[in-house]
Structure 1
Amino acid sequence: MEQGHPLQVYYQESALIQDLILELYDVKVSEDFQKYFNIFNQLTTIEKRFKRKENQLFPYLEKHHWNGPSQGMWSFHDVLREQIKLLHKHNETKDVEKITENLPYLLEGIKRLMLIEDQKLFPNAMRLLTKEDWEEFYEGDEEIGWMLKEKPAPFPNKDSKYIHPSEDLTDRTQRFSIENTFHYDEGYMTPEQVNLLLRFLPVDITYVDENDKVIFYNRGEDRVFARSKGIIGREVRFCHPPKSVDMVLRILEEFKAGNKDSAEFWFNFKGRIIHIRYFAIRDKNKTYKGVIEMSQDITEIQKLEGQKRLLDWD
């Protein structure tokens, strides 16, 4: 296996996890809570490993028609997440009795998971995935992160300059048709799909270019503020009431100067609570390319309490 191969990194993490599990079995929580707490927190970075598997490895296995890990193993991850969450609560109150009672369930569960990885997941992944598949992993893995203290070297190790995804013209086999699509930073969409996405976003978006001209707004069903096609090409200063235009112009000035990147406001409007955010848009060279204004009615969102984790359609 080549140096830096994604599976090699998984095995390096496995060795780290085994060491942490042994340390947690040895530490006496009642005598040295801080030592236990530090080791436990290091073990909980296993979440990065879970996410890499779920968002990187599993999709590639699905591409090769093996869907089992996306169902069974992902559920196993969620069980371990719940156990970690429970232990976090006991750690907050330093409930040594509850920690001592529940910790072994987590550790044994992780050991069983790694046994399945070693016996089935990783060998099958090595058999099914192509060299080209593995070479596409690094960028996505890097976005999620690793458990290791030192960041793994890029794989494959090539002395070539970085190519922005929008400029990457490498021909790759996709799992869906890319006919009539454009290649965005992450994925492909047709103009129709982009339009539908923007139309159904639950926020109002207005895009003002670097020349302070309105060049786009999304046409949702329930806009917070009315918009019409007449504003396209209009200077943004004329799209706001006189009492707020000075503030808008200052935001643009600070964005252009590079002093600020965002601004936000919230207020009551016709009995609803409205949240407005402005974001500076910059290209990869940090050159100012305009501003996006996002407006959202957050009245119902502010009323949310507790949790809702189940579907209540029935």
Structure 2
Amino acid sequence: MSEFINNRELRSNNPNKRQAILKQIFEDLHAGKNVAEVKAHFDAFIGKITIDEISQLQHDYGSLSVEEMHQLHAKHTEIFKDSIEEIEKTNKPEEIPGHPIHTFILENRELDKLANITIQGDLGEFVQADSPENVLKLIEDINLLHDIDKHYSRKENLIFPYLETYGIFGPTTNMWRINDFIRDAIKDARQKLTSYNGDKQAVIEVLNFVIQEVTTMIYREENILFPMALNNFTEDEWVKIARESDEIGYCLIAPEEVWKPERHALDEKAISEGYIKMETGILSLKQLELLLNHLPVDLTFIDQDDVVRYFSHGKERIFARTKAVIGRTVQNCHPPRSVHVVEELLADFKAGRKDTEDFWIKFRDKYVYIRYFAVRDENGKYIGTLEFTQNIDPIQAIEGEKRIMS
């Protein structure tokens, strides 16, 4: 295998030696070595692995195809299976109704039943007879499974940012990629079913893929991601995550109750009544915040270092934002597959090649106009980027004139 794995004495508690072995194990997997052989080396020289050790393993698989990523993550799961040490906890917040992890796990139980009982059963009937009735059953199932987007969005926008503040990046980017693969497969399954043309095998393959990946992701969350978060996050951070979860929504179920920590909940920071003097007027901080939140658009500002510093909090945001993104780099707030677009845009703004860039997309039931502005000071120095997002469906629907009040 390698010079690292040639001596059973290396199976020790020395963290540097163990990390060297683990690094080589993953390089061997990446190079295509036999999984059974690598697993045997893992069992012989590592045995049990801790969540902390997993969190230190960072991988960049950006050049791999979707299929290669899936194959590699399946190998990772096979290596770790039944080898992760349990974290001893006298108080288990994940068992308290309303705690974010308790809710995530309840959702996973529902997702597991939906994927492995309902969809699996209806798929079996479809295999026997691809009648319109059996196709319709699967369409209803996959429409329910589409709710998984809220489960993954809470994970990406609330769990991942806090992990990154602890210097844990390994699970975030790669797990987000897998989340997107699952989302895409669910959309593909729905498209194949809603426009079913008799290609039974294509439907069977995509649904089997969805069932397998959803099930494997449940294992990764409950055995790696959630223990990692529980091992690091403070109660204050869990309180913030619980409060912001409502903004994104829940998957298939809702929290059993509002979580009330044993200690007093965090006091909301009162908005200062101080005033800000600007060139064209004076506003209190309260007035300024209310003014920005009443605009019929979403605003987000990132500074010159690409760090998210502010977003408006209107009644109906188009894209989910949580307070956990504040202080996070904008690259880590976007799905990995779209990060290159963000970086290219920011590079153009910083170099002075562009001052604005516009996009318009169909998003769910909205037609969304997204505008980016380079923010520069009076000397032309770049100090950040403003993102301006608006649902323009109502504007496009305007006809004629309106000259009197409603």
Partner of 1:255: none
SS of alignment partner, residue 155 of structure 1 = coil
Query: Does structure 1 residue 34 correspond to structure 2 residue 136?
Result: yes
Maintained 8 Å contact 2:150/2:249: yes
Partner of 2:103: 9
Question: May I ask how many residue pairs the two structures share in their alignment?
Answer: 195
Maintained 8 Å contact 1:14/1:114: yes
Partner of 2:164: 62
Q: Residue deviations 1:262-288, cap 9 Å, x none?
A: 974799xxxxxxxxxxxxxxxxxxxxx
Q: Which of 123, 127, 136 is the aligned partner of 2:231? A: 127
Q: How does 1:91-130 map to 2 (within 5 A)?
A: 91-95=193-197, 97=200, 98-130=202-234
List gaps (5 residues or longer) in structure 1.
170-175, 190-195, 204-217, 222-261, 268-314
Deviation at 1:114, TM superposition (A): 1.1
Q: Partners in 1 of 2:356 and 2:244 — Cα distance?
A: 25
Partner of 2:192: 90
Query: Does structure 1 residue 139 correspond to structure 2 residue 243?
Result: yes
Maintained 8 Å contact 2:119/2:141: yes
Q: Partners in 2 of 1:263 and 1:110 — Cα distance?
A: 37
SS of alignment partner, residue 156 of structure 1 = coil
Q: Residue deviations 1:163-215, cap 9 Å, x none?
A: 8877399xxxxxx99xxx999755879xxxxxx9xxx6668xxxxxxxxxxxx
Deviation at 1:121, TM superposition (A): 0.8
SS of alignment partner, residue 153 of structure 1 = coil
Maintained 8 Å contact 2:144/2:252: no
Identity of aligned residues (%): 21
Maintained 8 Å contact 1:4/1:152: yes
Q: Partners in 2 of 1:129 and 1:161 — Cα distance?
A: 15
Deviation at 1:52, TM superposition (A): 0.7
Query: Does structure 1 residue 24 correspond to structure 2 residue 128?
Result: no
Maintained 8 Å contact 1:166/1:183: no
If the length of structure 2 is used for normalisation, what is the TM-score?
0.41
SS of alignment partner, residue 148 of structure 1 = coil
Partner of 1:243: none
Q: Alpha carbons of 1:107 and 1:64: their partners in 2 closer, same or farther (altered >3 Å)? A: same
Maintained 8 Å contact 2:114/2:141: yes
Q: Alpha carbons of 1:19 and 1:95: their partners in 2 closer, same or farther (altered >3 Å)? A: farther
Q: Alpha carbons of 1:265 and 1:155: their partners in 2 closer, same or farther (altered >3 Å)? A: same
Q: Partners in 1 of 2:258 and 2:245 — Cα distance?
A: 10
Q: Partners in 2 of 1:264 and 1:128 — Cα distance?
A: 47
What amino acid maps onto 1:153 in structure 2?
A: E
Partner of 1:272: none
Q: Partners in 2 of 1:36 and 1:182 — Cα distance?
A: 42
Q: Partners in 2 of 1:219 and 1:46 — Cα distance?
A: 35
Deviation at 1:43, TM superposition (A): 1.2
SS of alignment partner, residue 147 of structure 1 = coil
Maintained 8 Å contact 2:152/2:179: yes
Q: Which of 164, 178, 181 is the aligned partner of 1:76? A: 178
Query: Does structure 1 residue 156 correspond to structure 2 residue 260?
Result: yes
Partner of 2:32: none
Q: Alpha carbons of 1:165 and 1:90: their partners in 2 closer, same or farther (altered >3 Å)? A: farther
What amino acid maps onto 2:189 in structure 1?
A: L
Q: How does 1:284-299 map to 2 (within 5 A)?
A: none
Maintained 8 Å contact 1:165/1:184: no
List structure 1 segments (4+ residues) > 6 angstroms apart after TM superposition.
Answer: 160-166, 181-184, 218-221
